[in-house]
Amino acid sequence: MARTRLLGRSATAAALVSTGLLALSGTAASADRGDRALASSVTIEGTPRVGELLTLVTTFGEGHSPWALEAFWQSDGPVVGGGSSYRLTPDDLGHQISVTVIITPTPSDPPVGMGGASVGPVQPGLMTPATPEIAGTAALGQTLTVTVGAWKPAGTAVTYQWMRHGVAIDAATSPTYHVAPADVGADLGVRVTGTSRGYETTEVSSAATALVAPGDLLPPTPAIRGRVRVGSTLRAAGRWRPAGVTLRFRWLRNGAPVPRATRAAYHLVRADQGKRISVRVTGRKTGYTTATATSKATAKVKAKPQKRR
């Protein structure tokens, strides 16, 4: 006998299958065509899960393959595909999938329903996620960026959640993250969640970064402004970076701390006469290493001018 032909889906036959008007003899059927008997069975191989491929398996009596075979895949009734295999789609979720086979024993015979099989209900598909990777330096003030790679199925929607030592960071849900003072001493990571219709929601996390080290303050060398004369006021000046540094001052007389002189300004007194004055400034900011800078010493403090009589 000639090799069995797998025919394309016939619109007329598909309509008959969908409406149940085509009589079948069950999962095992025999059709008597003269002296020929086609003992047959129909089974489905594959997992009934969205995205998976189901394959039709037919068996016949030895030496009795039909001249032609036509298959119709149905999802809870309506015909959704034809041929030897069918890939499950999100529309099939929760449905029973069946296949109906029609054979033509010989070129001169009319088609006859061979049988069918079914599987289901169809379960949600399983995604194939890509492990996210973090680019950038985990240092205070730097920006980190996550790349997610290609998820399957194509078109999967992803969302982001940045993590500080395994705990979600409030409002950190974009592909980029600016390293903040609160991150110092902790590692950072990102959790990516993928969603797609018909598939189970999937989460995957990046590898953690190294611990975020404290930032470095950039202190200026303090400048002293004002007349170096008893009775005058000196002021410390200088711009620290970044902004928002808290400053503490300590005025020095010949290198030794002046009691209670801890403001940005210092009023010169008689004890300063003939001495050199300098100021030591300490800067502090959350997430940064404390820094200290000391000014150059002034010239010797001059005496207060005598009033003319």
User: H/E/C letters for each residue in 117-154?
Assistant: EEECCCECECCECCCCEEECCCECCCEEEEECCCCECC
Token pair recorded at residue 227: 């007349």
C-alpha closest to that of 138 among 216, 214, 217, 210:
210
Is 21 in the same domain as 79? Answer: yes
User: Residue 189: pLDDT above 80?
Assistant: yes
Residues 6+ apart with CB under 8 A from 260: none
Contact 300, 275 (CB under 8 A): yes
What confidence score (pLDDT) does residue 82 get? Answer: 93
Segment 39-59 shows an average pLDDT of 91
CA angle 178, 169, 128 (to 5 degrees): 95
Residue 116, both tokens: 């069918």
pLDDT (tens digit per residue) in 265-281? 999 999 999 999 999 99
Question: What CATH code is carried by the domain that includes residue 55?
Answer: 2.60.40.2700
Residue 306 maps to a domain: no
306 vs 45, residue with greater confidence: 45
The pLDDT tens digits of the residues spanning 90-125 come to: 999 999 999 999 988 778 878 777 778 999 999 999
168, 75: one domain: no
Q: Which domain holds residue 237?
A: 216-294
d(Cα 228, Cα 279) in Å, to the nearest integer? 13
- 3-state class of 108 per DSSP? coil
- At residue 37 the predicted structure's pLDDT band, cuts being 50, 70 and 90, is very low
Q: 170, 185, 213: which is the final residue of a domain?
A: 213
19, pLDDT greater than 70: no
pLDDT score for 9: 44
DSSP 80: E
Report yes or no on 305 lying in a domain: no
Do 75 and 19 share a structural domain?
yes
For residues 243 and 154, state if they share a domain.
Answer: no
Tokens of 14: 């598909």
Among 43-57, 58-72, 210-224, whose mean pLDDT is lowest?
A: 58-72
DSSP structural state of residue 94: T
Rounded Cα distance between 174 and 190, Å, is 10
Q: What is the mean pLDDT of residues 80-98?
A: 96
In contact, 120 and 52? CB cutoff 8 Å:
no
**Is residue 169 one of the residues assigned to a domain?**
yes
Based on the domain organization, do 182 and 79 belong to the same domain? no
Question: Has residue 126 been placed in a domain?
Answer: no
**How many distinct structural domains can be found in the chain?**
3
Within 8 A by CB and 6+ apart from 273, the residues are 230, 301, 302, 303, 304
Q: How many CB atoms lie within 10 A of CB 81?
A: 19
Residues 195-207, mean pLDDT to the nearest whole number: 97
> In which band, very low, low, confident or very high, does the pLDDT at 28 lie, cut at 50, 70 and 90?
very low
> What gap in Å lies between CA 223 and CA 238, rounded to an integer?
6
pTM exceeding 0.85: no
Looking at residue 68, its pLDDT comes to: 84
User: What is the structure's pLDDT at 106?
Assistant: 79
Indicate if 166 and 190 belong to the same structural domain: yes
Domain end marker among 190, 213, 236 = 213
Q: In this model, does residue 12 exceed pLDDT 50? A: no
Same domain flag for 115 and 174: no
Backbone angles phi, psi at 115, to 5 degrees: 155, -170
pLDDT for the residue 35: 34
Query: Which of 92, 119, 146 corresponds to the end of one domain?
Result: 119
- Only one residue has tokens 């016949």, namely 60
pLDDT at 109: 79
Residue 309 confidence (pLDDT) above 90? no
In a domain? residue 302: no
Give mean pLDDT, residues 16-45. 50
Query: 157-187: per-residue pLDDT in tens?
Result: 999 999 999 999 999 999 999 999 999 999 9
